[in-house]
Structure 1
Amino acid sequence: MDSILRLLMGPWTTYILWVLSDSGPQRFGALKRAVPGISTRMLSERLRMLQAAEVIWRDQTQTIPPAVTYGLTERGDDLRQVLESLGEIAQRWQAEGAFKASQTAAE
């Protein structure tokens, strides 16, 4: 279990997976817009890492510019229920004010 948690702990990783899980396959630009605040470099790094772990797939068409699309593999799809559960918990906790202390500390 530690190995999978280490994979998911990277910055933006769960958010990227959640977007792909919720919205289906996405082109790079659409994915970048769906994850506000992430840099192009960080998104590329996270996508390469997830692809290497066989959690996402990458499809590139030879157009100008190249069209690159990412989606969840079967392994990534295994995480769908976990991501949905985490999202539900996060929404409930947010409604309960659980994140106010961490938001205040960050400001």
Structure 2
Amino acid sequence: MDRKRRGPYICGIDAAMDVVSGKWKSLILWELNNYGVRRFGELKKGLPGVSEKMLVQHLREMEEDDLVHREVYREVPPRVEYSLTVHGKSLNAALGSLGDWGTERQQRLRRSGAVE
């Protein structure tokens, strides 16, 4: 696949955002972190609204970026499982603070009446 990078990067945030860009990547990380090894259908079910095409694309990119491990079992019917790599787990941990910030924002917006 050899996806093109935007680099050279301006800073570490820029390099990190290149890896997690896209609506679904951080949610895929969250899903795999919270539920462990998942099959494609389980991931799709856990991410309402994601299209099959987008999930495939993001999983391939995340595998290329060493965030996700794809294990193919040679059996009938074929089985494929996805899990986080060590690198993926460390990125997920780094995103934890961002998630905490987002939760606080949701609460502020609810209190202000800006969202329901």
Flag whether TM exceeds 0.5 (same fold): yes
Shift of 1:13: 0.9
Partner of 2:59: 47
2:107 is aligned to 95
Distance in 2, matches of 1:59 and 1:70, equals 6
Residue 25 in 1 paired to residue 37 in 2?
yes
Contact 1:18 1:83 in 2 (8 A): no
- 1:34-56 C-alpha deviation (Å, 9 max, x unpaired): 11100001000000000011111
Alignment partner of 1:58 is 2:70: yes
* Cα deviation, residue 11, structure 1: 2.8
- How far is the alpha carbon of 1:59 from its aligned partner? 0.5
TM-score, normalised via structure 2 length: 0.78
Give the TM-score of the pair, scaled to structure 1.
0.84
* Counterpart residue identity of residue 24, structure 1: G
Gaps of 5+ in 2: 1-11
Cα RMSD (Å) of the superposition?
1.9
Offset at 1:14?
A: 0.8
Q: Out of 21-30 and 33-42, give the one that drifted further.
A: 21-30
Unaligned runs of 5+ in 1: none
CA-CA distance at 1:5 after TM superposition: 1.1
Query: How many residues are treated as equivalent by the alignment?
Result: 102
Match of 1:36 in 2: 48
Percent identical across equivalent pairs? Answer: 35
Deviation larger for 36-45 or 82-91? 82-91
- Runs of 4+ displaced beyond 3 Å: none
